[in-house]
Structure 1
């Protein structure tokens, strides 16, 4: 999952496994495997970097790893 921001400023979390491709037109469009398109505030390179980090993390964390409690609700 990666954190992104809709054009209206709403943050959301996207399952990076569902991304088919990312393009700049000039806004950043993310096309999902089901054909849906999402427009986000982040630049294309930022989205790609977050997807790469996501894939690196999912292979490096041991089974049962839990995110530390940050106190956020």
Structure 2
């Protein structure tokens, strides 16, 4: 789980495995596989860094790999 902050300053925990995409329009919008959208205060870069750290923590992503989130 990654910890993010909704626009109303409420903390939210999201399972990073279920994140489909992250957009900046201009707020950061996290879209889950279910289609639910969550608007958060963190930037796209902050969310992707948290995702990468989480993936490394659960050994889903090798710490030697540099993910390319733009592909």
2: CA distance between counterparts of 1:56 and 1:41?
Answer: 23
2: CA distance between counterparts of 1:12 and 1:35?
Answer: 17
Larger Rg: 1
- Can you give the 5+ residue segments of structure 1 that lack an aligned partner in the other structure? 61-73
1: CA distance between counterparts of 2:23 and 2:59?
Answer: 26
Q: How many residues align?
A: 60
How far the C-alpha of 1:36 sits from its partner, in A, is: 0.6
Q: What is residue 29 of structure 2 aligned with on the other side?
A: 29
- Can you give the 5+ residue segments of structure 2 that lack an aligned partner in the other structure? 61-71
CA RMSD of aligned residues (A): 1.1
TM value normalised by structure 1: 0.79
For residues 14-50 of structure 1, give each alpha carbon's deviation from its aligned partner in whole angstroms, at most 9, with x where no partner exists: 0001100000001000010011100000000000000
Runs of 4+ in 1 over 4 A off after TM superposition: none
Does residue 58 in structure 1 map to residue 63 in structure 2?
no
TM value normalised by structure 2: 0.81
